[in-house]
Amino acid sequence: MQARAVAKYVKISPGKVSRFGRIVKHMPYQKAKAVLELASAKGARELAAVAQSAVSNLIANNKNIDEDAVIIEDVGVNGGPTMKRMRPRARGRADRQLKRTCHISVVVSGEEIKK
């Protein structure tokens, strides 16, 4: 059984999140949760929130799934729209400042408990 969660327009650069996505892909959820909690980066916090949402979606749809057996199947981090802003500089000039966003998607799977 699989479930999915998506967070769109997250205000962080895609590269900062995909670094952690490559680490936790194909990991058991409990281990991935521990790895993401130990990291102090904002990308890890955002990815942990989306993974928690995916696990909640999986358990909400199937009551007889063991949370310890849930595995993160796929993590996708795509670039979202970039906001372009101007920053004042010396002598009346201006530099462009890019505020990047990203879309994070997590797919988890788990086995049903046989009773």
- Provide the pLDDT for residue 62: 80
pLDDT of residue 20: 96
pLDDT digits 0-9 by tens, 58-96 = 998 887 888 888 999 999 999 999 999 999 999 999 999
Q: Where are the domains of the chain?
A: 2-109
φ, ψ of residue 2 to 5 degrees: the values are: -125, 155
Average pLDDT, the chain: 93
- Amino acid at residue number 81: P
> 33-57 b/e with 16+ CB inside 10 Å = b?
beebeeeeeebbebbbbbbbbbbeb
pLDDT tier at 98, thresholds 50, 70, 90: very high
Q: Which CATH architecture has domain 2-109?
A: Alpha-Beta Complex (3.90)
Given this model, what pLDDT does residue 1 score?
86
In DSSP notation, 49-86 reads HHHHHHHHHHHHH-TTB-GGG-EEEEEEEEE---EEEE
| 30: nearest Cα among 81, 76, 82, 66 | 66
> In this predicted structure, what is the pLDDT of residue 115?
65
